[in-house]
Amino acid sequence: MRHLAVWSAGAWLVVAADCNTRLASSGSSNGDASADLTSCQPGHELVGARYDVTKSHFAFGGPPVRDDENGLVRWVGPDGVVAIEVSGGELGLMNGGAAETNLPDWSNDPVALGAHVRDYFLSFGVPGCQMPDTQVLGGSGGRTISIARLVNGIPVAESLAYARFNNNEQTTSEGFYWPTVPAAVVDAARALHARLADPTTAAAYKALLPAADQADGEVVIHHTSSSSTEALASAATYDVQESGGLLGMGRVASFDALGHDVTTGW
């Protein structure tokens, strides 16, 4: 199953099916080893991270000035703006015609480019074990690196990390949302994943679901979106793509460990 990671402000949509390259991460990292000792281990919460404007490489075009608006913390420069929501979700957008967007990519080597963007997010405190690989997205504005959040192969669907670096060591497009997920939710996802990995227990579990939803799916960790002003909610679910609707793509149905339908505002 392929997931959509949607930025709530409507400025960004990453469709994993459109990724033209998928890369294993390099061994490069910036001090993530100690965090990895616990962050991805059973019984521990999935440690999150928040955007740090003091470590930002965004191409503001000059020293940014804080100018909050509509409940957003905004850092505004001559050439672009970074906006941070109450949840911690961040989005960096350039002004139209900004010269920095026309500079070449930081590297023509997709592996090196992926490792460089990964190191950027490691600098914000993201544990490296949650970023096992990167994806290259092509476009007219250069190549953007997107990083899917995973724990033991289980995707954390609403988390987000992407950036495009130019050859002047600046990002001209970026987004970041990486909240902490409680240990109970992560362990529930592991347990459900183990059930689905065994043919016998998988068949018993699928028998609990509606007949239309007994096709192959995947275990996913969901959490509330970056635009939410409420306390973070999260859950481990089994997601199945239903048929029908536009282009034969129906809704994604989500079920808990008991086979009950989970209706949320993910």
CA–CA gap between residue 242 and residue 138 (Å, rounded): 29
Q: Are residues 190 and 153 in the same domain?
A: no
Sign of CA dihedral 48, 53, 58, 60: positive
DSSP-assigned beta bridge partners for residue 93? 81
The total of other beta-carbon atoms located within 10 Å of residue 16's CB is: 16
User: Mind listing the pLDDT tens digit for each residue in 179-202?
Assistant: 999 999 999 999 999 999 999 999
Q: How far is CA 125 from the centre of its chain?
A: 15
Number of domains composing the chain: 2
Under the phi-then-psi rule, with left for phi > 0, alpha for psi from -120 to 50, and beta for the rest, what region is 206?
alpha
Range of the domain at 70: 4-177
Answer yes or no: is 264 within a domain.
no
CB 246 within 8 A of CB 204: no
Q: Are residues 21 and 122 in the same domain?
A: yes
- 163 and 212 co-located in one domain: no
Q: Which of 127, 154, 177 is the last residue of a domain?
A: 177
Q: 100-123, pLDDT tens digit by residue?
A: 999 999 999 999 999 999 999 999
Pair 239, 253: CB distance under 8 Å: yes
Judgement on whether residues 86 and 198 belong to the same structural domain of the protein: no
Residue where one domain finishes, among candidates 177, 193, 217: 177
Q: For residue range 139-153, list pLDDT tens digits in order.
A: 767 899 999 999 999
The reply to whether 262 falls in a domain is no
Residue-wise pLDDT tens digits, 29-67: 444 445 566 789 999 999 999 999 999 999 999 999 999
Q: Check whether 18 has a pLDDT greater than 70.
A: no
- Indicate whether 197 and 67 sit together in one domain: no
Mark whether 98 and 120 lie in a shared domain.
yes
- Judge whether residue 24 has pLDDT over 90: no
